[in-house]
């Protein structure tokens, strides 16, 4: 197993779900045994600093539907990085993922066989079904082997080309342990909950069956923020 002391994590940021980003970041750091270099993939920053200009797609459900694939580009195609959707909650030490061998892979994902039955998903967005759905929601990337995901390609190529990993040979797509991307469910083995049907921070989703877990982490985050403000005021 590889030994790592710090790890890069990129979280898809949506301006309508800021609290989801904050709580996920808090949960990652709460459990991590290594330093985490966490970055939001923010549409506004990409437009300002990188000339991002892809037109909004009527079927995209978040601001990071496509920008997630810029992770290798943002890392200068060097090293290993983890991308995560913001509608997740980490319950274990994410350093486990960074200890996985990546030399033979371009990326590792949880290979869900997921076929949604609802026509509407979180936030009232239209649900779409396609091969490899949710594979791109959590990606451990060997950035040097993903140079095909250039700024130009991510801006111009189709959603299918990107989300189905069409330019990536199947043998270069490895597995992540399934407990690291558990869809709308929780049991003692779960290390990461993915609220694909909408988390309790969204109107109409307040009573998600596993929303209490997220709410507990939110309260912990808010308490921590309050402690920081008090400490800063006194210093």
The reported pLDDT for the residue numbered 131 is 73
Q: Which two tokens stand for residue 92?
A: 């274990």
- Look at the chain and report how many structural domains it folds into: 1
**Is position 1 within any domain?**
no
Task: List the domain range (segments joined by +) for residue 176.
Answer: 6-234
CATH of the domain at 138: 3.90.550.10
In a domain, 205, yes or no: yes
- Please tell me the total number of residues recorded for the chain in this structure: 235
| pLDDT tens by residue, the chain, 235 residues | 677 889 999 999 999 999 999 999 999 999 999 999 999 999 999 999 999 999 988 888 899 999 999 999 999 999 999 999 999 999 999 999 999 999 999 999 999 886 655 544 454 454 465 578 899 999 999 999 999 999 999 999 999 999 999 999 999 999 999 999 999 999 999 999 999 989 999 999 999 999 999 999 999 999 988 766 655 544 3
pLDDT of amino acid 121: 47
Do the beta carbons of residue 193 and residue 185 sit within 8 Å? Answer: yes
**41 is a domain residue:** yes
What is the bridge-based pairing of β-strands 6-12 and 35-41? parallel
69 within domain boundaries: yes
SS3 call for 9: strand
Helix axes 18-31, 211-234, angle to 10 degrees: 80
The predicted pLDDT at position 58 comes to 82
The three-point CA angle 187-193-195 to 5° equals 125
Reference 137, options 205, 184, 207; nearest CA is 184
Among 27, 29, 24, residue whose Cα is nearest residue 13: 24
pLDDT of residue 2: 72
């Amino acid at each position: 197993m590889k030994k790592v002391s710090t790890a890069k994590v990129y979280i898809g940021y949506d301006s309508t779900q800021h609290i989801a980003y904050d709580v996920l970041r808090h949960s990652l750091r709460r459990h991590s045994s290594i330093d985490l270099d966490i970055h939001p993939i923010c549409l506004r920053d990409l437009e300002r600093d990188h000339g991002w200009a892809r037109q909004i797609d009527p079927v995209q459900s978040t601001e990071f539907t496509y920008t997630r694939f810029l992770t290798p580009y943002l890392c200068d195609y060097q090293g290993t990085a983890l991308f995560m959707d913001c509608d997740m909650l980490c319950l274990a030490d994410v350093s486990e993922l960074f200890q996985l061998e990546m030399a033979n892979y371009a990326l590792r994902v949880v290979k869900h066989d997921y076929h949604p039955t609802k026509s509407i998903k979180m936030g009232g967005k239209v649900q779409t079904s396609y091969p490899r759905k949710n594979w791109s929601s959590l990606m451990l990337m060997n950035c040097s082997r993903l140079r095909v995901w250039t700024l130009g390609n991510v801006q111009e190529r189709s959603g299918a080309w990107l989300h189905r990993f069409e330019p990536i040979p199947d043998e270069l797509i490895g597995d992540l342990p399934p407990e690291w991307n558990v869809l709308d469910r929780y049991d003692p083995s779960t290390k990461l909950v993915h609220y694909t049907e909408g988390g309790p921070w969204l109107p109409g989703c307040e009573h998600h069956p596993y929303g209490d877990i997220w709410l507990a982490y939110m309260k912990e985050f808010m308490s921590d923020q309050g402690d920081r403000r008090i400490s800063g005021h006194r210093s």
